[in-house]
Structure 1
Amino acid sequence: MKKIQHVSSFKGTLRVPGDKSISHRAVMFSSMAKGTTQIRGFLPGADCLSTISAFRRLGIEIEQSGDRVQVQGKGWYGLTEPSEILDIGNSGTTIRLMMGILATQPFHTVLLGDESIARRPMGRVAGPLRQMGARIDGRGEGNFAPIAIRGGNLKGIEYHSPVASAQVKSAILLAGLQAAGITTLYEPELSRDHTERMLSSFQVEVNSFAGGVNVTGGQELISPGEIEVPGDISSAAFILAAAAIVPGSYVVIEHVGVNPSRTGILDVLLAMGADLRLQNERVVNGEPVADIEIKYTPLHGITIEGEIIPRLIDEVPIIAVIATQAEGTTIVKDAAELKVKETNRIDTVVGELRKLGASIDPTEDGMVIEGPSMLQGAVCDSHGDHRIGMATAIAGLVAKGETAILNPGSIDVSFPGFFEKLAGLSL
């Protein structure tokens, strides 16, 4: 249990841990590349450590100390068949992207996760990979882990994804790199493009176009030598939220990734009236990076829907917290994807914020929040979901009295040292 007290203001300059999505891909792509890669700024959270563990068991030499990682890549066919099941813990990114990589390998692998992973849909990845020629099986006709894969002899396909998902897209693109011909994926809205950007830095030709992306098979990954991982904007979102809703606050978060496919949270804050700006904008390893400055100012409710949703799907829990302190009604639509995250985040966000006294109601594909609400301290539960744990902690900063967070350890998945960062800024 972690106890949170009301704070009077939030001030200071800090950095947040490395981007989780980029950290996963840095390890994966370096493992599949030819040459040695040094990774700086790696996120040493539980999910990313699961990726390192899995590739070690596939025969890749990886040294990791804090946020520094060295990977000895062996090329596409340097992996070896594991003698045991690969347990990827709670990491949806690890299991889905590895499905794409392992679909190219001419051996048998079984992927297993925790109870949360066992509930999350894998058919959205397994289906197109089967179309490419991989043999994939699992519970529920291959829709749920454990997932068994025997790959090799793939052919390129043209696939129209029903969801905008960077994990689905990445798995198909990775398989396509070792498939005969061209693999093309279309998606309904733009999803995160970290895979495309990083593959380019590994000298892979990726062709993005309006509505989709394609790759030609037979391409090798060549190590760029070094990769610098920027701060994770999904982690920065919680600090930004605290500064946005705690009166008198002023915070600067340095070296944050501001990839346009991830900056929906910034667009939402600005639309709600936040005093926010980017400073020192630059490009690092193909990824845009900046320092983010935010000052407290009163906010107002807005409607969040449509093509912006994939750019902020992980930030909806903390956006709901921000909305509890904004004047008027905030409506989140088109976010049914929240139901298949680490938890059903529509239900858990609504349930936990109601404990604190928020006026919030679920809808079929989102939620409706009325603000501002005078929150009262309560006992909340992360439900084993790092983003729910952090969202309720930020709500506790503006709630009267004391808020207790059950199962706070889940926060280490993406933000080790989260509570220490909050304490360093609290006044």
Structure 2
Amino acid sequence: MRQVKTIKINLPPDKSISHRVAIFGSVFDGETIVENFSTCEDCLSTLSCLEKLGVKFSLEKSILKIQGKGLYGLEKPNENLDCGNSGTTMRFLTGLLAGQKFDSVLVGDKSLSKRPMERVIKPLSLMNAKIELSENGTAPIKIFGSALKPISYEMPVESAQVKSAIQIASFYSGESKISHKTNFRNHTDLILKEFSKAQKNWKIKIPNDFSSASFWIVFGIANKRNLKISLKNVGLNPTRTAFLKVVKKMGAKIKIKNQKLFGNEPVGDLLISPSKTKNVEIVSELIPNLIDEIPILSILGIFSKGKFSLRNASELRVKEVDRISALTKIFKALELDFQELFDGFEFEPSTNFTQITLPETSDHRIAMSSAILSLLSEGKVEFKNFESAKISYPNFEEEFLKILERNG
């Protein structure tokens, strides 16, 4: 029997919280000091746009210091604001810029320019925002600064980004009332509590990213080499951890230790042990809170017993790529018995493959899921495009190679 070894994986800071803190800090009346800020490409896109709005900051390793401009100190940009591949940047800045006294234009890369933006424009328009999209309902987004008014809005689609855009715009309108049927990411609500209490100096520490942790959680569960995975200071906000509920129900052995708070955000250390798992029903109420983890959850499904079934996840169609289509292309390459559905997919697990080449993708979560599949496979799995992982996880390749060396 192989000796059990524990490998510590280095995780990036939480991307979702980093975006929010950077934007809040830009309009804070004083200095914001952020410990453990994400330096992924998406968050750097947010900082780049804020810089063009006149915000001064310094970023050394993961320590971000922002000299806030106050609510009315942002400056008219001299050029279009390039959001890169970051939909979060684009949606949040739409909310921030709607109430300014100047006009601005948001653009993005080829992928982001195809993503629908109507859902965030509709409530902002009700707030009296003057915004124009392309004829396809996509970027570029032309924003004509306007005097905003508060609204009462019942969200037709569960989207933390849309809610946050309304909350950010409400800095300039007065508080809006937002209602929704299910609970989803509440990072903005928690940050607002801290933000409202801060005086001239606001200090905040960001947890490590749970979505990035999910890749190594799956590796820890499904690997056959008796490797345990240790993850430190992982964000455990209950609106983000539906993935943990599902994998534990599947039979995963996961210990949570050293639980504490970073501000209002719960944090803990995870120890993941190899486990025998079986696929279970994924109830629709959990989908909004594990939407980003579905790609890697489906990889765990391949190495688990019983049919894997996913429904009510049509939101995957409008991510960086159509993730339902991207995942079913992987299933096809693996020669699984699968069915693609409009709002999900089904497949019968099988690991009877010896040598395959996975389809290339520009999507960071699909790319990292493919990498974990290659580590778990007993056959030879080839895949391309580590570069896209840098969108959310800059040091993923380094951690992958660490495991590959142990796995060899």
User: TM-score band, normalised by the shorter chain?
Assistant: over 0.9
Tell me which residue corresponds to 2:260.
282
Q: CA offset at residue 408 of structure 1?
A: 1.9
User: Quick check: 1:31–1:72 contact (8 Å CA) kept in 2?
Assistant: yes
Tell me which residue corresponds to 1:171.
165
Tell me which residue corresponds to 1:373.
351
Q: CA offset at residue 10 of structure 1?
A: 7.3
Q: In the alignment, residue 58 of structure 2 is paired with which amino acid? A: E
Q: Determine which of 301, 316, 339 is the counterpart of 1:361.
A: 339
Q: In the alignment, residue 209 of structure 2 is paired with which amino acid? A: D
Q: CA offset at residue 336 of structure 1?
A: 0.5
Tell me which residue corresponds to 1:207.
none
Q: Determine which of 214, 231, 237 is the counterpart of 2:214.
A: 237
Question: Matched residues, percent identical?
Answer: 36
Q: CA offset at residue 9 of structure 1?
A: 8.7
Between Structure 1 and Structure 2, how many residues are aligned? 402
Tell me which residue corresponds to 1:41.
36
Output one character per residue of 1:275-300: Cα deviation in whole Å (capped at 9) or x when no partner: 11211110111100000111011100
Pair 1:29-2:6 in alignment: no
- 2 CA distance for matches of 1:11 and 1:31? 41
Q: CA offset at residue 420 of structure 1?
A: 1.6
Pair 1:192-2:169 in alignment: no
Q: CA offset at residue 224 of structure 1?
A: 5.2
User: Quick check: 2:386–2:397 contact (8 Å CA) kept in 1?
Assistant: no
Output one character per residue of 1:101-151: Cα deviation in whole Å (capped at 9) or x when no partner: 11111110000001111111111011111110110001027x210000012
Tell me which residue corresponds to 1:260.
238
Distance 1:392-1:80 versus aligned 2 partners, 3 A rule: same
Pair 1:399-2:377 in alignment: yes
Q: In the alignment, residue 62 of structure 1 is paired with which amino acid? A: F
Tell me which residue corresponds to 1:417.
395
- 2 CA distance for matches of 1:9 and 1:333? 37
Q: CA offset at residue 66 of structure 1?
A: 2.0
Q: CA offset at residue 424 of structure 1?
A: 2.2
Q: Secondary structure at the match of 2:292?
A: helix
Distance 1:176-1:246 versus aligned 2 partners, 3 A rule: same
User: Quick check: 2:364–2:392 contact (8 Å CA) kept in 1?
Assistant: yes
Q: Secondary structure at the match of 1:109?
A: strand
Q: CA offset at residue 421 of structure 1?
A: 1.0
Superposition pairs for residues 179-328 of structure 1, below 5 Å? 179-180=173-174, 182-203=175-196, 222=199, 225-247=202-224, 248-328=226-306
User: Quick check: 1:271–1:302 contact (8 Å CA) kept in 2?
Assistant: yes
- 2 CA distance for matches of 1:222 and 1:166? 27
User: Quick check: 1:37–1:72 contact (8 Å CA) kept in 2?
Assistant: yes
Q: Determine which of 154, 159, 163 is the counterpart of 1:160.
A: 154
Q: Secondary structure at the match of 2:207?
A: coil
Output one character per residue of 1:154-192: Cα deviation in whole Å (capped at 9) or x when no partner: 111111111111100000111122214x41112232120
TM-score under structure 2 normalisation? 0.95
Q: CA offset at residue 361 of structure 1?
A: 2.5
User: Quick check: 2:71–2:171 contact (8 Å CA) kept in 1?
Assistant: no
- 1 CA distance for matches of 2:351 and 2:302? 6
Q: Is there any run of 5+ residues in structure 1 with no aligned partner, and where?
A: 1-7, 205-220
Q: Which has the higher strand share?
A: 1
User: Quick check: 2:155–2:178 contact (8 Å CA) kept in 1?
Assistant: yes
C-alpha RMSD of the superposition: 1.7
Tell me which residue corresponds to 2:97.
102
- Say which structure, 1 or 2, has more relative contact order (CA 8 Å, 6+ apart): 1
- 2 CA distance for matches of 1:348 and 1:39? 36
TM-score under structure 1 normalisation? 0.91
Output one character per residue of 1:203-259: Cα deviation in whole Å (capped at 9) or x when no partner: 16xxxxxxxxxxxxxxxx756522111110000000001111112231110100000
Distance 1:27-1:376 versus aligned 2 partners, 3 A rule: farther
Pair 1:351-2:351 in alignment: no
Q: In the alignment, residue 236 of structure 1 is paired with which amino acid? A: A
Q: In the alignment, residue 263 of structure 2 is paired with which amino acid? A: N
Q: Determine which of 82, 85, 88 is the counterpart of 1:90.
A: 85
